Homo-oligomer: A and B are copies of this chain.
Amino acid sequence: MKDGIKIVTIGGGSSYTPELMDGFIKRYHELPVREIWLVDVENGKDKVEIDAAMARRMWEKAGYDVKIYTTLNRREALTNADFVTTQFRVGFLEARIKDERIPSYYGMLGQETNGAGGIFKAFRTIPVILDIVEDMKELCPNAWLINFTNPSGMITEAVVKYGKWDKVVGLCNVPVIAMMKEPIAIGYDAKELVYQFVGINHFHWHKVYDKQGKNITQKVIDAMFEGKDIGLPANIANVPFFKEQVEQMQMIPCGYHRYYYRSQEMLEHSLEEYKTIGTRGQQVKETEERLFKLYEDPDLDTKPEELSLRGGAYYSDAACECINSIYNDKKTHMVVSTKNRGTVPELPEDCVVEISSVITAKGPMPIAWGKLPSAQRGWLQCMKAMEECTIEAAITGNYGLALEAFILNPLIPSGKNAKEVLDELLIAHEKYLPQFKDKIEKLKMNGVTIRDKVVFDLVKEGK
User: Smallest Cβ distance from A448 to chain B, in angstroms?
Assistant: 14
How many chain A residues sit at the interface, stated as a range, is: 35 or more
Taking a contact as CB atoms closer than 8 A, the residue among B247, B370, B375, B399 that contacts A341 in the complex is B370
Question: Is B362 within 8 A of A264, CB to CB?
Answer: no
When chains A and B are docked, how far (Å) is the Cα of A38 from the Cα of B267?
Answer: 51
Closest to A244 in B: B400
Q: Which residues of the partner chain B approach A370 to less than 8 Å between Cβ atoms?
A: 339-342, 349
Taking a contact as CB atoms closer than 8 A, the residue among B245, B360, B374, B400 that contacts A403 in the complex is B245
Q: Which residues of the partner chain B approach A288 to less than 8 Å between Cβ atoms?
A: none
Question: Is B382 within 8 A of A247, CB to CB?
Answer: no
Interface assignment of A401: CB less than 8 Å from any CB of chain B: yes
When chains A and B are docked, how far (Å) is the Cα of A350 from the Cα of B392?
Answer: 21
Interface assignment of A358: CB less than 8 Å from any CB of chain B: yes
User: Smallest Cβ distance from A389 to chain B, in angstroms?
Assistant: 5
Question: Is A365 within 8 A of B196, CB to CB?
Answer: yes
CB-CB contacts of A214-252 with B at 8 A, as 1s and 0s? 010000000000000000000000000010110111000
Q: Which residues of the partner chain B approach A333 to less than 8 Å between Cβ atoms?
A: 331, 358
CB-CB contacts of A365-378 with B at 8 A, as 1s and 0s? 11111110011011
Question: Is B401 within 8 A of A248, CB to CB?
Answer: yes
Max count, chain B CB within 10 A of own CB: residue among A210, A266, A362: A362
Max count, chain B CB within 10 A of own CB: residue among A262, A381, A388: A381
Q: How many copies does the complex hold?
A: 4
Given that A261-B407, A377-B385, A414-B260 are known contacts, is A400 also in contact with B248, CB under 8 Å in the complex? yes
Q: Which residues of the partner chain B approach A404 to less than 8 Å between Cβ atoms?
A: 245, 248-249, 374-375
When chains A and B are docked, how far (Å) is the Cα of A169 from the Cα of B388?
Answer: 32
Q: Which residues of the partner chain B approach A194 to less than 8 Å between Cβ atoms?
A: 329, 360-362
Question: Is B326 within 8 A of A213, CB to CB?
Answer: yes
Taking a contact as CB atoms closer than 8 A, the residue among B345, B374, B401 that contacts A392 in the complex is B374
Question: Is A407 within 8 A of B196, CB to CB?
Answer: no
Q: Which residues of the partner chain B approach A260 to less than 8 Å between Cβ atoms?
A: 407, 414
Q: Which residues of the partner chain B approach A362 to less than 8 Å between Cβ atoms?
A: 194, 196, 209, 213, 215
Interface assignment of A363: CB less than 8 Å from any CB of chain B: yes
Given that A242-B419, A248-B400, A415-B264 are known contacts, is A329 also in contact with B361, CB under 8 Å in the complex? no
Question: Is A375 within 8 A of B408, CB to CB?
Answer: yes
Taking a contact as CB atoms closer than 8 A, the residue among B343, B408, B417 that contacts A342 in the complex is B343
Residues 334-359 of A contacting B (Cβ, < 8 Å): 339-346, 349-350, 356, 358
User: Smallest Cβ distance from A243 to chain B, in angstroms?
Assistant: 9
Question: Is B361 within 8 A of A388, CB to CB?
Answer: no
- Apart from A242-B407, A375-B404, 15 more pairs, CB < 8 Å: A192-B329, A211-B329, A242-B403, A248-B404, A263-B415, A265-B415, A341-B371, A342-B343, A349-B370, A358-B358, A367-B368, A375-B385, A378-B386, A379-B385, A381-B382
Q: Which residues of A contact B (CB under 8 A)?
A: 1, 192, 194, 196, 209-213, 215, 242, 244-245, 247-249, 260-267, 326, 329, 331, 333, 339-346, 349-350, 356, 358, 360-363, 365-371, 374-375, 377-379, 381-386, 388-389, 392, 398-401, 403-405, 407-408, 410, 413-419
For the complex of A and B, 4 pairs with smallest distance between CB atoms: A378-B385, A248-B400, A264-B415, A341-B370
